[in-house]
């Protein structure tokens, strides 16, 4: 596969880990990076770059995803690299957690990733090349009080990635899962200073991670350097999840 003309889709690339991933991947001018957003239009300077495109899309809506893929194919080429970053959380203890909130988290975090990748797979198979990265969370494998829906949506990504890998790896398609720990994003900051301090005390490195540190691992996986990494779960968490 010629890496000089990569079309890379990053869902939820308007903030946090997704935004840093867009920045890093777009630094290679051979990449065309397509970033989705839904409610918050991206304002970062990177979206003024010639090789970065921001497209509004509710990735839980199959019709909107169909339009997105058709638009990108017509104007830029086939999407052969997918990074699924889009996600939400609606934290609540299970006794108070509403059924509709659980469904919304599963739709936003897990179902959207499945639907996005399913639409990308045919072109990958035809091209005999593809890179898929699911952005999960250590919470998906450690668990956390009040995060039943979020944990469920993130842990399921591993089974999905490994099943996809077993189905299509003979076409030079890889599927991997990144599990970030406590990363300095809006989602983490919404937890409050006390919760963040409590997390720091559990992290062997003793600090919160930066979105760019996660983006570096994602960049590795979609590059030729990561071509033999497949079906992997890679924690980027400062050692938080050791033993799990």
Q: Write down the pLDDT at residue 39.
A: 82
Share of the chain above pLDDT 90, in %: 81
CA–CA dist 10, 28 (Å, integer): 15
Q: What is the pLDDT of residue 2?
A: 44
| Sign of the C-alpha dihedral computed for residues 208, 211, 213 and 217 taken in this order | positive
Does 189 reside within a domain? Answer: no
Q: Considering the domain boundaries, does residue 83 fall inside one?
A: yes
Residue 193: inside a domain, yes or no?
no
Point out the catalytic residue in the list 114, 150, 228, 244.
Answer: 150
* Residue 155 domain-assigned (yes or no): yes
Query: What is the C-alpha separation between 30 and 76, in angstroms, rounded?
Result: 12
Tokens of 82: 């997918």
- Checking if the pLDDT of 4 tops 80, the result is no
Q: Is 64 contained in some domain?
A: yes
Number of domains in the chain: 1
Is 206 a domain residue? no
| Residue 202 within a domain | no
Determine the structural domain holding residue 153 and report its residue range. Answer: 3-183+211-236
Residue 76 sits in a domain whose CATH number is 3.40.50.720
The model's pLDDT over 158-187, given as tens digits with 9 standing for 90+, comes to 999 999 999 999 999 999 999 999 898 877
What's the chain's average pLDDT? 92
Number of H helices, E strands in the chain: 9, 7
Segment 41-55 shows an average pLDDT of: 93
114 is annotated as an active-site residue: no
Say what the pTM is: 0.93
Mean pLDDT score, 49-59? 96
> What are 214-239's pLDDT values in tens digits?
999 999 999 999 999 999 999 999 99
Q: pLDDT class for 188, splitting at 50, 70, 90?
A: low
Q: Look at residue 205 and tell me if it is in a domain.
A: no
| Beta strand residue intervals within the chain, DSSP E | 6-11, 31-37, 52-56, 81-84, 130-135, 173-180, 233-236
């Amino acid at each position: 596969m010629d890496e000089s003309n990569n079309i890379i889709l990053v869902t939820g690339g308007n903030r946090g880990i997704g935004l840093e991933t867009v920045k890093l991947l777009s630094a290679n001018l051979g990449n065309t990076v397509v970033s989705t957003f839904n409610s918050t239009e991206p304002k970062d300077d990177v979206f003024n770059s010639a090789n970065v495109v921001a497209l509004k899309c509710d990735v839980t809506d199959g019709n909107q995803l169909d339009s997105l893929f058709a638009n990108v194919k017509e104007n830029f080429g086939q999407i052969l690299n997918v990074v699924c970053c889009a996600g939400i959380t609606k934290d609540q203890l299970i006794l108070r957690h509403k059924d509709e909130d659980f469904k919304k988290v599963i739709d936003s975090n897990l179902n959207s990733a499945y639907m996005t990748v399913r639409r990308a797979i045919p072109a990958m198979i035809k091209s005999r090349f593809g890179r898929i990265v699911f952005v999960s969370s250590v919470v998906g494998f450690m668990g956390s009080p009040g995060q039943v829906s979020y944990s469920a949506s993130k842990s399921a990504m591993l089974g999905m990635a490994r099943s996809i890998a077993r189905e299509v790896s003979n076409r030079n398609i890889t599927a991997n899962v990144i599990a970030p720990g406590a990363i300095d994003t809006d989602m983490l900051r919404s937890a409050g200073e006390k919760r963040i301090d409590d997390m720091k005390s559990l992290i062997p490195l003793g600090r919160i991670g930066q979105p760019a540190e996660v983006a570096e691992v994602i960049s590795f996986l979609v590059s030729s350097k990561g071509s033999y990494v497949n079906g992997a779960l890679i924690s980027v968490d400062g050692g938080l999840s050791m033993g799990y």
